[in-house]
Amino acid sequence: MDDEVRSPAPGRARQSEIFRAGASGTRPAVPTGWAALVGAAERTMSQDAWAYVAGAAGRESTAEANYDAFDAWRLVPRMLRDVAERDLSIELFGRRHPTPLLTSAIGVLELVDPDADLAIARAAGSLGITSIVSSQASQPMERIAADGAGPWWFQLYWSSEDALVESFVSRAEAAGAEAILVTLDTGMLGWRPRDLDRAFLPFIRGMGIAQYTSDPVFRELVRARMSRTSNAPRPRVTPAAIRTLVEMTRRYPGPFWQNLRTGEPRVAVETFLDVFSRPSLSWADLPFLRERTRLPIVLKGIQHPDDARRAVDSGVDAVMVSTHGGRQVDGAIGSLDALPGVVEAVEGRLPVLLDSGVRGGADVVRALALGATAVGVGRAWVYGLAISGEDGARQVLRDILAETDLVLGLSGHRTVAEFGPDDVVRL
Ligand code: FNR
């Protein structure tokens, strides 16, 4: 873990590092402000990648509402409270975490770089930040875990195949995941015009399905399908998909990728499209997961207080308020606006986490003040990664931590726990 994160003042340390480097003519590789970061990332990324990462559902009004909510809740700083010593650490699932940040699950990172999953795991791990590894990652979770050397959770998209759910969860446990985060808001993909207008869905091109192609249960499903459909027409999978999978096989000749039989990549994509999600998922399914893992279970996507109460009753270990970065339901409430109702409903019985719309430390602090225990960052680090690889992702995370530390202290607080709803007002 980076010494600087354990130091009481990552904010001042980071400022001083930047200004000292500036004296010898070096500027930050990645812009430290949000608008410049977004602009630099857009200039770096392919058009397909930019549309997929930056895009959101419908008119993108939920994505905007996420940002607007952060702008509407304002801090009311307190003075003369001796903030010389500060501590950003939090308690979660019986463990002290050095920072209140998580890196949110982002799928199909090969759109940015083939090794991006490894890069973010390393960047987060070096800062003691827990990274959430996606079901739609471009690398098998075992490889990410081995390379990242930091704490991680596994994000589960609940497949229509129970056996695959079970296999993913047991692999995650065996590979050292500290929690299973179930994303509830993606029983179907949201209506995303930027991707629709480009007719671009990465999965159909064989991208972002490495957890599946590396899974023994999934491979059995593929083989069963191959024997069933060897002569059937194959309308849905493009030659590009096959090329992608063959290239992944060449690049990552791990135990699961070896010995792909002729035709398997194509059938793998078809099988994935069939089993990816379970739109029929309901509260009644949760015991299935509870019985199969001893890890903490986090429900991601909770926005309504009644769902938060139901989550408490269902015996899960945390909820995450999230709008999926505005990518699923257009016209929905901004994530930070949903937070107070969920916190109130939960009445301290579970930790409440939040993501969607976090652009910097001042956003992190507002979420903490409104009762979040930890805060997930999504697109921000993806942009850093696009601009400058692992170092770029690390810089974005360090900068968010630095600003969190400075806003914490400048608003009159020494620890995350000192923050409360009295420190914010809604405009
Ligand atoms: C996501 N998100 C996401 N969530 C999830 O549970 N599994 C996934 O595979 C993905 N994949 C994904 C890809 C891309 C390109 C984006 C932008 C988002 C949602 C993600 O975990 C998180 O909820 C949002 O990104 C948070 O919003 P911000 O920080 O991006 O505004």
| Contact call for residues 386 and 41 (beta carbons, < 8 A) | yes
Q: Is the pLDDT assigned to residue 63 strictly greater than 70?
A: yes
| Contact call for residues 251 and 118 (beta carbons, < 8 A) | no
**Does ligand 1 have an atom closer than 6 angstroms to the CB of 104?**
yes
Q: Which atom of ligand 1 is nearest to the CA of 104?
A: 21
> CA–CA distance from 54 to each of 50, 87, 192, 401 (Å)?
6, 33, 11, 22
**Does ligand 1 have an atom closer than 6 angstroms to the CB of 209?**
no
Q: According to the model, what pLDDT value does residue 238 have?
A: 66
Q: How far is the CA of 17 from the centre of ligand 1 (A)?
A: 31
Q: According to the model, what pLDDT value does residue 257 have?
A: 46
Percent of the chain with pLDDT strictly greater than 70: 90
The whole-number average pLDDT for the span 256-281 is 80
- Please report the sign of the dihedral spanned by the C-alpha atoms of residue 11, residue 13, residue 16, residue 17: negative
Q: According to the model, what pLDDT value does residue 256 have?
A: 43
**Does ligand 1 have an atom closer than 6 angstroms to the CB of 356?**
yes
Q: Which of 97, 304, 324, 413 is catalytic?
A: 324
- Residue 105, both tokens: 């699950």
Which of 276, 368, 132 lies closest to 354 in space, CA to CA? 368
The whole-number average pLDDT for the span 264-278 is 91
**Does ligand 1 have an atom closer than 6 angstroms to the CB of 366?**
no
Q: According to the model, what pLDDT value does residue 367 have?
A: 98
Tens digits of per-residue pLDDT, 97-109? Answer: 999 999 999 999 9
Q: According to the model, what pLDDT value does residue 265 have?
A: 79
Q: How far is the CA of 272 from the centre of ligand 1 (A)?
A: 19
324 is catalytic: yes
Q: According to the model, what pLDDT value does residue 235 have?
A: 47
| Mean predicted lDDT score pLDDT of the chain | 93
Percent of the chain with pLDDT strictly greater than 90: 86
Closest Cα to atom 25 of ligand 1: 378
Residue 74 per-residue DSSP state: E
Q: Which atom of ligand 1 is nearest to the CA of 136?
A: 9
Q: How far is the CA of 231 from the centre of ligand 1 (A)?
A: 38
Tens digits of per-residue pLDDT, 8-58? Answer: 589 999 999 999 999 999 999 999 999 999 999 999 999 999 999 999 999
Please report which confidence band the pLDDT of residue 343 belongs to, taking 50, 70 and 90 as the band edges.
very high
Q: Round to the nearest angstrom and report the end-to-end CA distance of the chain.
A: 39
> CA–CA distance from 42 to each of 55, 103, 137, 381 (Å)?
12, 20, 21, 13
Strands (DSSP E) along 236-309, which ranges?
Answer: 297-302
Phi, psi (deg, nearest 5) at residue 350: -140, 150
Please report which confidence band the pLDDT of residue 258 belongs to, taking 50, 70 and 90 as the band edges.
very low
Q: According to the model, what pLDDT value does residue 310 have?
A: 98
Residue 7 per-residue DSSP state: S
Q: Which atom of ligand 1 is nearest to the CA of 358?
A: 29
Q: Quick check: helix, strand or coil at residue 183? A: strand
Q: How far is the CA of 324 from the centre of ligand 1 (A)?
A: 5
Q: How far is the CA of 108 from the centre of ligand 1 (A)?
A: 10
Q: According to the model, what pLDDT value does residue 259 have?
A: 46
Task: Give the helix/strand (H/E) hosting 377.
Answer: strand 374-377
Q: What is the pTM of this model?
A: 0.94
Higher pLDDT residue, 250 or 94?
A: 94
- Residue 148, both tokens: 């990242």
